[in-house]
Each structure stands twice: as C-alpha cells, then as structure tokens.
Amino acid sequence: MKINTLSDEYEEFEFMDHGRTAHRKRRKAAPDKQKTQPNHLTDIQHMDDGMTNWVPSYAASLDPRHHERWWVIESAGPFYRDQIITDLTHLVKGGKEANVYRCDAHPATGLEFIAAKLYRPRMLRHLKNDAVYKAGRQLRDDSGKQIKGRRVKLALRKKTTFGKSVDIQWWIGNEYRTQTLLYEVGADVPQPVAHQGNVILMAFIGNEYGPAPLLSEIRLEADEAHALFRRVMDNVALMLDHHLVHGDLSAYNILYWEGDITLIDFPQMVEARHNPHAFELLKRDITRVCDYFGRFGVTADPVDLTLDLWRPYMGRDW
C-alpha cells in the first residue's frame, strides 16, 4: 500500500504490526510449545476481532444482500486495518466508473475526513476514447515501474482477464501518481493519502454537512469569477510545466470551497511530451473553462490562451 501521510503514530503502528507477524512465525516454528499453548490461534483470532470483521457504518445501513455492501467492506477494510480511516459513513457520489465515499480519518493522518474513490472493476468499459488518452504512454505497474514483460504486454493487448486487471491497476495507479506529483508541486488538488487496489484515498473537500459543491453548481460574482479563472488557468499552466494536460477539465471536475477551487478527477490525464492529442485536449480543457467563466463576465479567447501556453512549452528545452 502506498501511503503519503505518515505520522509518528502511524509508523509505530506499522512497527507493532511487524512485531505481531514475527511473533506468529516464532510460535509456528516451536511445535513443542504449541502443545502447552493449544489456544494461541484462537487468541490471535480474538485479537483480530473487530479488524477482520469490520463493517463500516455506511455498509451496515445497506441490505446484507446488496453487492455494494461487500464491495465497500472489502475495498475499505485494508485502510481501516492500517488505521488510516476509522469509519466510512456516506456515499458522496455514485458514478459509472467509481463511487466516492466520505470516511472519518484516523487522527494520525492529521485530517478530519477522507474521500475514498472506489473504482468499479468494469470501469474500463466506460472510459471514453481510451486510446486517445493512452497514446504515447508507457505502461506502468501499480508501483509506477515500467511494464516490460512480453507476457504482460500480450495479455494487455489481447485483453485477457489478467490483462484487464493490469490495465485497471494502471489507470488507477496513474491517477494516484499524477495527483501526488501535482500536490507536491503546489497545484490545487486534494492531498493524496493512500492507494491500494481499486481505491484512492485523498483529503475530503467539504465538512460534516457535505462535500464541496462543484463549480458548475455555483453562481459567481464578476470579481470572484475573474480571480478564480486566473487561479484555474495558473493550475493548467503548472500542469503543463510538468508535461501534463488534465484531459477532462471543466466546471464539473472543479470543487468550490470557501472561496477556493480544487481540481479533481485525473484518470484521463495525458503526458504532453508523448501524446499526439495533447494540444487538442488542452484546447478543449481551456475552452470548457472559458465557457463556464464566460457566464460570469470573464472574456477570454480559448484558442489564444491555449497557444499562449503551448507555444512556449513547445519551444522549451526538455
């Protein structure tokens, strides 16, 4: 599991966990002792109670036969056991590709709430124009290492079950890595917290009453619109500085909270150096942003703005 937010408390937990594993191994290797302590396995099971059988309160509210119940328990369980979240309480939004839930954060994370994005196994069927976004990308595994094996590449090309699972990991891992990079360079994105399997955890934007609204749901005064427009464009420029184009930017993927904006939703991000569609995607992102802010008095030419960013970028020494 990759974890971005580590505190002393968390490291201590990891340490204790390793201690426990070692303890189990030692006991296994000493059969004589087992005779004198016949109940140790039951003891360990008892110790794990509440961890292995954890049911988040949102799942507890669902019918036991509801598939979402098991999906949530299995997906969020590892983060509960690693003490990153203490509960998963609300469905923020259900979508075709993923559901987003609000979780109570473990104090060790330094956050109050965490957003958990759970991807559906069948997400790939819904990704629009998969090939456009993937063009020029190097295949990477869950840990970011380039995938080289012939067998894996073949499986991906032939879309075997194994190939599909590598593919899903690739998309999700890519979203997480991109978000981490952007957060580290100071972009307005939610702080990434952890990633494992089909789940990404990040800081929740909002409060106990609910998530931040999308920019598309907000009406802005002209002054604020101008300031936020500049802010969004600064983020677009910062991304391009790091060879990235969001690829699905619009008022539907920007949160508005306490006067600030936060960009979300990165699985379709493209690498500007390698993707032949990068310019078109950048232009589309900027056009959608201009369309939204245009409603509140911001006048800007999206093609000019795109070229203003793209020309110096292309003339740059890489």
Give the binding site for Mg ion (CB under 5 A): 253, 265
Q: How far is the CB of 303 from ligand ATP (least distance, A)?
A: 26
CB of 45 to ligand ATP, least distance (A): 36
Report the nearest approach of ligand ATP to the CB of residue 31 (Å): 51
243 is written with which tokens?
Answer: 């060879």
What is the 3-class SS of 178-223, one letter each residue?
A: HHHHHHHCCCCCCCEEEEECCEEEEECCEECCEECCEHHHCCCCHH
Query: Which among 97, 251, 109 has a CA at the least distance from the CA of 194?
Result: 109
Helix 222-241 vs helix 278-294: crossing angle, to nearest 10: 170
Nearer to ligand ATP, 142 or 188 (CB): 188
CB of 257 to ligand ATP, least distance (A): 8
Maximal CA-CA distance, the chain: 81
Residues 192 and 111 sit within 8 Å (Cβ to Cβ): no
Cα–Cα–Cα angle for 103, 218, 115, nearest 5°?
10
Give the nearest distance from C-beta 212 to ligand ATP in angstroms. 6
Output the residue with the shortest Cβ distance to Mg ion.
265
Comparing CB distances to ligand ATP, the nearer of 215 and 309 is: 215
In the bound state with ligand ATP, the residue whose beta carbon lies nearer, of 188 and 310, is 188
Task: Report the alpha-carbon distance of residue 233 to residue 220 in Å, rounded.
Answer: 17
- Whose Cβ is closer to ligand ATP: residue 24's or residue 93's? 93
Q: Which is nearer to ligand ATP, 212 or 282 (CB)?
A: 212
- Chain residues that interact with ligand ATP, rule: CB under 6 A: 92-93, 95, 97-98, 100, 115, 117, 190, 202, 204-206, 211-212, 214, 253, 264-265
Residue among 283, 294, 288 at smallest CA distance from 253: 288
